[in-house]
Amino acid sequence: MFTRFSWFLALCLSVAMLSSCSQKGSSNANVTPDSVVKPKYATGFVIEYYPGYKCLLVYNPWKKGAVQAKYYIVTRNGVNTPDKRKTVVAPLHSIAATSATHYAFIAVLNELPSITGIASPKLVYNSTLIRQCRDGKTVDLGDAFSLNVEKTMSLKPQSVMMSSYNQTDAAAERISQAGIPVIFNNEWMETSPLGRAEWIKFVAVLYNKEKLADSIFRQTEQKYLAAKALASKAKGTPEVMIGSSFKGTWYMPSGKGFMGNLLADAKVKYHFANDTTAGSIPVNFEQALQNFVNAQVWLNCDAKNLNSLMQSDARYGLFKACKDKRVYSLYNRINELGGNDFWEDGVLHPELILQDFIKAVHPELLPDYKMVYVTQLK
């Protein structure tokens, strides 16, 4: 009798424990966050703080309001989260990063040693990261658009940071299936210059450095808004043209995109200022000439000097900006390998890009300012 009773009691206790564990797991998935941090300018992510862990919520860039991914950040192993496959222990000590902007965010947080793998190392501008690559501390994982998945998985990083260029990503799927969390950083999809810079807050969560990120971004915001206010005081509104012809097509930025917003904040006249096209606006050379023949300033020209520009297509000489030699490129900070700091550190410094543009179009407002990313073609 005693034996049967003991067995029955043990069975009841086991069922109770299993029920308790099941309830714990489901309640964890539905628990309300203690606090939520919603970015001021960025629209692609939210940070949620729960008891024992943080959640990085990334919105789908192609489906408004839909969630692309959730990542759970803990400070030690063994913490219960809604999805162990998407759980990362912070601070990170090993991450594979696949975009120049990722390197910039991690560098400003003083965490470059954590980058153990990168894509396209020949395009890196940061001298410390270049040295890490040469010393074998950071591994070449191929091109961001054709990542060496096998090499990435053999590196066994805590996570891989990638940018979403399509709604589906075969490389990301394979890496995730191998048990390595793929963290999507979609800062490049933001249309606000400050919105892109604000992704520093997203990356900072992976290193438990939210306060540092807040301080960095606050300074950037103040400087950007000050530059915008300065531009608003300009007496004139010069007309600008932007970009260059590529294989017969000129890809112009939309007026409501990242570059369009920078131009608006620099107080210039731009032909496509009111165009809401998502992405670039393709026009042929004849259309570009018709729309911008009298533009006073040419920004983001893809040439190293005026001679090479004219040699590539003599018709460029028909533009007023070219005749007046008011042509500017984004090649002011380039190293011997071809790494361009505009595409790297520029994401953190929209205030410097804006000041560079103001110097080009309203030089009287910044008489002693030296351009950082922009340079005038000679």
Domain-wise residue ranges, the chain:
31-220, 232-376
Beta-sheet pairing, 87-89 with 67-74: parallel
The predicted model scores a pTM of 0.90
CATH class of 232-376: alpha beta
DSSP summary character for residue 179: T
**CATH number for domain 31-220, candidates 2.40.50.100, 3.40.50.1980, 3.40.190.170, 1.10.3720.10:** 3.40.50.1980
Q: Could you read off the pLDDT of 33-48 as tens digits, one per residue?
A: 999 999 999 999 999 9
Q: Could you read off the pLDDT of 210-234 as tens digits, one per residue?
A: 999 999 999 999 999 999 999 999 9
pLDDT, average across residues 282-299 = 96
Q: How far is CA 282 from CA 105, 109, 249, 279, in A?
A: 31, 38, 6, 10
Residue 27 has pLDDT above 80, yes or no: no
Give the distance from CA 129 to its chain's centroid: 18
Neighbouring C-alpha atoms within 13 Å toward the C-beta of 324? 14
pLDDT, average across residues 284-300 = 97
Assess whether the region 31-220 and the region 232-376 belong to the same CATH fold.
yes
| Mean pLDDT across the chain | 92
